[in-house]
């Protein structure tokens, strides 16, 4: 795109220095707009990562609880026999 813009500016008799300056300014403007757009996406990504981490923690806790319940249900009859 830069070459095309530069050539278009040259075709209407804009000097080399001025055409180069226009292309450079446009590149800087585009880079800034892309950075601004990416900032919002990066913030959303961080928020989602945080939520995923919370869900992983909850899943771990639920897994531990299920394990304890399973052990308790298996050990219950054995303890009942030992107590009798």
**Which residues neighbour 26 within 8 Å (Cβ) at sequence distance 6 or greater?**
2, 5
pLDDT band of 82, cuts 50, 70, 90? confident
Q: What is the DSSP letter of 34?
A: H
pLDDT tens, residue by residue, 1-23: 678 988 898 899 999 899 999 99
Domain that holds residue 9: 2-83
Query: Which residue from 44, 37, 41 is spatially nearest to 52, judged by alpha carbons?
Result: 44
For the chain, what is the domain count? Answer: 1
Question: How many angstroms separate the CA atoms of 45 and 35, rounded?
Answer: 15
């Amino acid at each position: 795109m830069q070459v095309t813009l530069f050539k278009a500016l040259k075709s209407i008799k804009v000097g080399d220095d001025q055409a180069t300056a226009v292309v450079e300014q446009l590149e800087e403007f585009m880079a800034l707009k892309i950075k601004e757009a990416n900032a919002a996406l990066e913030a959303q990504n961080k928020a989602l990562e945080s939520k995923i981490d919370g869900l992983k923690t909850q899943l771990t806790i639920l897994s531990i609880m299920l394990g304890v319940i399973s052990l308790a249900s298996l050990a219950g009859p054995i303890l009942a026999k030992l107590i009798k």
